[in-house]
Structure 1
Amino acid sequence: MALPILVTGPSRSGKSEWAEHLAQNHPSVIYIATGKENAADPDWQNRIQQHRDRRPPQWQTVCVDQHLTDTLATLPPGSCALVDSLGGWVANTLELSPEQWRTKQMDFITFVADLQNVPITIIFVAEETGWGVIPAYALGRIFRDRLGALTRQLGRLCSQVYLVTGGYAVDLCQWGEPLPPSRD
Structure 2
Amino acid sequence: MNRQPILVTGPARSGKSSWAERLAHESGRRVVYLATAREDPNDPEWQARIAAHRRRRPVYWQTLCEPVELAAAIRSAGEVCLLVDSLGSWVANLLALDDVAWSEQVDALLAVLAQPLADPLILVAEECGWGVIPPYPSGRLFRDRLGELIQRIGPFCAAVWLVTGGYALDLRRLGVPLA
TM-score (norm 2): 0.96
Tell me how far apart the structure 2 counterparts of residues 107 and 132 of structure 1 sit (CA, whole Å).
30
SS in 1 for 2:134: coil
Tell me how far apart the structure 2 counterparts of residues 65 and 119 of structure 1 sit (CA, whole Å).
23
Map 1:76-91; keep pairs closer than 5 Å. Answer: 76-77=78-79, 79-91=80-92
Tell me how far apart the structure 2 counterparts of residues 64 and 27 of structure 1 sit (CA, whole Å).
21
Choose which of 71, 75, 78 in structure 1 pairs with 2:77.
75
Map 1:9-158; keep pairs closer than 5 Å. Answer: 9-25=10-26, 26-77=28-79, 79-114=80-115, 116=116, 118-158=117-157
Tell me how far apart the structure 2 counterparts of residues 57 and 27 of structure 1 sit (CA, whole Å).
15
- In the TM superposition, residue 110 of structure 1 has moved relative to its aligned partner by 1.4
SS in 2 for 1:8: strand
- In the TM superposition, residue 27 of structure 1 has moved relative to its aligned partner by 2.5
Tell me how far apart the structure 2 counterparts of residues 82 and 27 of structure 1 sit (CA, whole Å).
11
Q: Please, which runs of 5 or more residues in structure 1 have no aligned partner?
A: none
- In the TM superposition, residue 121 of structure 1 has moved relative to its aligned partner by 0.6
Tell me how far apart the structure 2 counterparts of residues 125 and 94 of structure 1 sit (CA, whole Å).
18
- In the TM superposition, residue 133 of structure 1 has moved relative to its aligned partner by 1.1
Question: Displaced runs of 4+ in structure 1, greater than 4 A?
Answer: none
Matched-pair identity in %: 50
TM-score (norm 1): 0.94
Could you give the per-residue CA deviations for residues 132-180 of structure 1, whole angstroms, max 9, x where no partner exists? Answer: 1111111001111010000011011100000000000000011100001
- In the TM superposition, residue 2 of structure 1 has moved relative to its aligned partner by 1.3
Q: Which amino acid aligns with 2:77?
A: L
Aligned length, in residue pairs: 177
Tell me how far apart the structure 2 counterparts of residues 110 and 48 of structure 1 sit (CA, whole Å).
29
SS in 1 for 2:77: coil
Cα RMSD after superposing both structures: 0.9
